[in-house]
């Protein structure tokens, strides 16, 4: 039996085992998928065991960057890895977040080339989003509470730091509003031309950011679609075969969306 899992900290809520199990069942693959929940400082002491026990694993917060130094090879340009596969005794890192996000967003919006898109946040998740948007030809700007981080990300991807433009799409990669106190959008963001709003998290299923943008007339989505798409793309890597990504996406969404 093949053995996979998702590596992270504080991830007991994750839907990943259910999603990957559906894919394995559909394909007739004899494989298990675990939750590997470690303390935030627990990776160095556990990495040997993981390599001994697993054929591959997904990586989520807070280990997407830290995992890189424990790998033999990384096959992605982004400075973060979310998929690790055993290959001939070595461990190789990949990133399916970029394409997973792109497929999920365009499933809602259609073509995004030329659209004015505001990304909220400048962390690792934001970088995956920005990479996908820039590659697709969108007009991207970034806003972050810490301006220096926004400037660094803008310089790296040759995009703008947000300066009051009215976006047609807003992507939220922050925790704004989740505390029930802070505003769900940064001060000054005008949603009058916003057609689509996308929050990267999927729990809660409707965030304060989504509620605010929906009331402003935007079509909204949480990050469940991204989770599903990146999981299917990871399974392509794990199993070394091309899959019917869109077909599996539709089947999985029917099962896990109540």
Please state, in angstroms and rounded to a whole number, the distance separating the CA atoms of residues 192 and 82.
35
Q: Residue 120, SS3? A: strand
Catalytic-residue membership of 48: no
Helix (H, G, I), strand (E, B) or coil at 19: helix
Angle ∠(176,79,205) on CA atoms, nearest 5: 30
CA distances from 69 to 11, 47, 88, 103, 161 (A): 22, 11, 19, 29, 31
Helix (H), strand (E) at residue 118: strand 116-120
**Catalytic position from the list 18, 64, 69, 160:** 64
Round to the nearest angstrom and report the end-to-end CA distance of the chain: 30
Q: Is the bond preceding residue 206 a cis peptide, omega within 30 degrees?
A: no
Task: Give me the residue label for tokens 């929906």.
Answer: 214
Residue 8 near residue 62 (C-beta atoms within 8 A): yes
Q: How far apart are CA 84 and CA 64, in angstroms?
A: 10
Sign of the C-alpha dihedral, residues 241, 244, 246, 252?
Answer: negative
Whether the bond into 204 is cis, omega within 30 of 0: yes
Instruction: Give catalytic residues, as residue numbers.
Output: 64
């Amino acid at each position: 039996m093949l053995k996979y899992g998702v590596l992270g900290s504080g991830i007991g809520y994750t839907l990943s085992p259910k999603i990957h199990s559906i894919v394995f069942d559909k394909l007739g693959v004899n494989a298990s998928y675990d939750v590997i929940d470690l303390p935030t400082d627990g990776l160095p002491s556990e990495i040997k065991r993981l390599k001994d026990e697993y054929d591959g694993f997904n990586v989520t917060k807070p280990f997407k960057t830290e995992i890189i130094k424990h790998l033999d090879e990384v096959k992605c340009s982004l400075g973060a890895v979310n998929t690790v596969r055993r290959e001939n005794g070595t461990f190789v890192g990949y990133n399916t977040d970029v394409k997973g996000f792109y497929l999920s967003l365009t499933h809602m919006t259609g073509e995004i080339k030329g659209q004015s898109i505001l990304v909220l946040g400048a962390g690792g998740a934001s970088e995956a989003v920005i990479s996908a948007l820039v590659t697709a030809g969108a007009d991207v700007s970034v806003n972050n509470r810490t301006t220096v981080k926004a400037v660094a990300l803008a310089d790296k991807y040759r995009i703008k730091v947000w300066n009051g433009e009215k976006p047609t799409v807003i992507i939220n990669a922050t925790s704004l509003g989740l505390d029930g106190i802070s505003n769900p959008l940064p001060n000054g963001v005008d949603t009058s031309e916003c057609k689509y709003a996308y929050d990267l998290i999927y729990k809660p299923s409707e965030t304060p950011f989504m509620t605010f943008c929906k009331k402003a007339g935007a079509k909204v989505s949480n990050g469940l679609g991204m989770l599903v798409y990146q999981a299917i793309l990871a399974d392509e890597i794990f199993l070394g075969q091309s899959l019917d990504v869109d077909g599996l996406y539709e089947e999985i969404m029917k099962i896990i969306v109540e």
